[in-house]
């Protein structure tokens, strides 16, 4: 009887722990191309001229891309229902483009620290614990 009780308790604890872990967000409204409109001290005109964007249309499963005016970037991301996100496995091509490297370097440094996301209409905001925000607008929005 004691073994049955221990087994049941173990199963219940396992189920409880699984329900506490963040649930991945199913494919949907975040999976599109997003144009960067605000980030640090970069002007909106500079971001637009640089064609700064993050493309969350999946290349393969959770693999995505980004462009900040010079190199093609690739990354992995997991979005969760509780408004958190985890970016990882970032990399890029290795070209040098005069006047474009600061934005790219800042983005590559800050993106892995982004832990929260918010989608409001056609706007996406990524933020981290230090208060840094990256703001985007859906590229297909008129």
Query: Quick one: average pLDDT of 85-109?
Result: 92
Are 138 and 33 spatial neighbours (Cβ–Cβ below 8 Å)? yes
Fold (CATH) for 22-138: Lipocalin (2.40.128)
Q: What is the pLDDT of residues 8-43, one digit of tens each?
A: 444 544 444 444 455 565 556 788 999 999 999 999
The average confidence (pLDDT) of the chain is 84
CB of 116 closer than 8 Å to CB of 83: yes
pTM: 0.79
Domain map of the chain by residue range?
A: 22-138
When comparing pLDDT for 2 and 12, which is higher?
A: 2
């Amino acid at each position: 009887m004691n073994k049955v009780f221990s087994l049941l308790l173990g199963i219940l604890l396992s189920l409880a722990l699984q329900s506490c872990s963040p649930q991945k967000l199913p494919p949907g409204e975040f999976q599109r191309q997003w144009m960067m409109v605000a980030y640090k001290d970069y002007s909106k005109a500079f971001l637009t001229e640089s064609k700064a964007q993050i493309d969350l249309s999946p290349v393969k499963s959770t693999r995505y891309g980004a462009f900040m005016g010079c190199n093609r970037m690739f990354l992995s991301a997991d979005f969760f229902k509780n408004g958190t996100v985890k970016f990882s496995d970032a990399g890029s091509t290795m070209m040098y483009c005069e006047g474009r490297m600061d934005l790219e370097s800042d983005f590559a440094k800050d993106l892995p620290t982004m832990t929260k996301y918010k989608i409001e209409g056609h706007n996406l905001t990524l933020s981290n614990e230090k208060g840094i925000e990256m703001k985007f607008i859906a590229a297909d929005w008129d």
